[in-house]
Chains A and B, each alone.
Chain A
Amino acid sequence: MLDLKEQIIAQLNLQDIKPEDIGDDQPLFVEGLGLDSIDALELIVLLQQQYKIKLSNAEDGPKVFKTVRTMAEYITAHQAQNV
């Protein structure tokens, strides 16, 4: 999850934020890290670029991008499917 946090920081250019500042279960959007809809698009691109995972159903977005942990679980599940 540390790698994923680093990738999120780099992709979203989250200045002055370190991986340890982002809790595994901290909400990424609104009240948590304060991300918005443009960031959601950036995270979709991150999944495709880094993990070759395409978010096929847009309605899954809120669930997948809820926290770093939900993202990591989604990545793990889809990477297993791709093997």
Chain B
Amino acid sequence: MYIRATGNISPQKTFGHQPLVDAVAYTGNRLACIEPDYKEFIDPKLIRRMSRIIRMGVAAAMECLQEADIKVPDAIVTGTAYGCLEDTNSFLSKMVEFNEELLTPTAFIQSTHNTIGAQIGLMLQCNNYNNAFVHRGFSFESALLDGILLLKENDASNVLVGAIDEITNTSHTIINRLGLYKQGEVSNLDVYKTKTKGTIAGEGAAFFLLAAEPSATNYAKLDGLHTFYKPDNIAEVEKQIVSFLNRHSVSMNDIDLIFTGKNGDAVSDKIYDDLAETVFENKETVNYKHLCGEYPTAASFAMWLAAISIKTGQLPAIFDSASNKKINKVLIYNHYLSIHHSLTLLSAC
């Protein structure tokens, strides 16, 4: 199956299909999405009920559909770990504030994890298959797998698949307290040099139009997807990677580029460092989380990067790569909190 179109709102200037040239620098442990003028994509009457994450998700989905020139997809599948946190926070806060009485309906209605997929369906008047996956660090991969299965089983000829997660003031405070983020002064551009515990918070909304048939405008071919949970040790991670490639009749020599989910956390990055000395040895590996931050569906940002790299045949200028070798085959390896591990294989059409 093929990635025909994309739409991406992230802490970088990714919206609008502009070339990704300069990295946006952030100071502190939180990256925030750069949002477009939503009025071009969403009816102002609808915008007023949408919180930030809903706007981001809907706008990224609309950009993707516009690029694909598809008005109504055969299916809409979304993945999110946190859901619409701002609305959830608003709803729960009002429950406390008004002693569980006088609750306003909008925040409650919009707080569910399937809100964004549902909003897209409502806006498009699309009554086709619509599903949302909430599986922590596997949320995006689960949505992607569902999209793949729909296409493979001929239940759809095109599927809109997306991942959406936001960081709010409340969730940032709570996760910060749990020790997941770096403390003190930190720049996203230097995050891999810190060698300290913790990472930087991120968020994003990335959508892909997957199609069963090839077309001249496709970005890339989606060859494979695999997830594995809590591997016992690094040897098992290596075994999973090798076995995944073998299943797709690909050797490591065929891979032109590997996107790895390194996030600057000295503890969890050890897995990537170990792999760099074994299965990834002598391969060109690229980190991406200094651009989008860490969040449970960050692998969607990597898939977007992989798709645009394959389409143009080279890494975006933002990576300042010295290699002139045309990129035909890309492997994405990501793990979230060393628990949820995923492998995605893409190639040129």
B-binding residues in A (CB < 8 A): 11-16, 34, 38, 41-42, 45, 48-49
Contact = CB atoms under 8 A, between A and B. Distances in A.
Top 3 closest A-B pairs, CB basis? A13-B48, A41-B105, A48-B102
Nearest to B45: A34
Contacts of A42: 104-106
Interface in B26-70: 44-45, 47-49
Contacts of A38: 49, 105-106, 109
A2 B150 CA distance: 54
Contact of B44 (A16, A45, A48): A16
Given A38-B105, A38-B106, A49 B48 contact: no
Interface SS majority for chain A: helix
Contacts of B49: 13, 38
Contact of B102 (A12, A16, A45): A45
Chain B interface residue bracket vs A: 10 to 19
B135 to A, nearest CB: 30
A83 to B, nearest CB: 22
Contact of B47 (A11, A15, A41, A49): A15
Contacts of A34: 45
A51 to B, nearest CB: 12
Given A13-B48, A42-B106, 16 more contacts: A11-B104, A13-B49, A13-B106, A14-B48, A15-B44, A15-B48, A34-B45, A38-B49, A38-B105, A38-B109, A41-B104, A41-B105, A42-B104, A45-B104, A49-B98, A49-B102
B24 interface: no
A65 B242 CA distance: 66
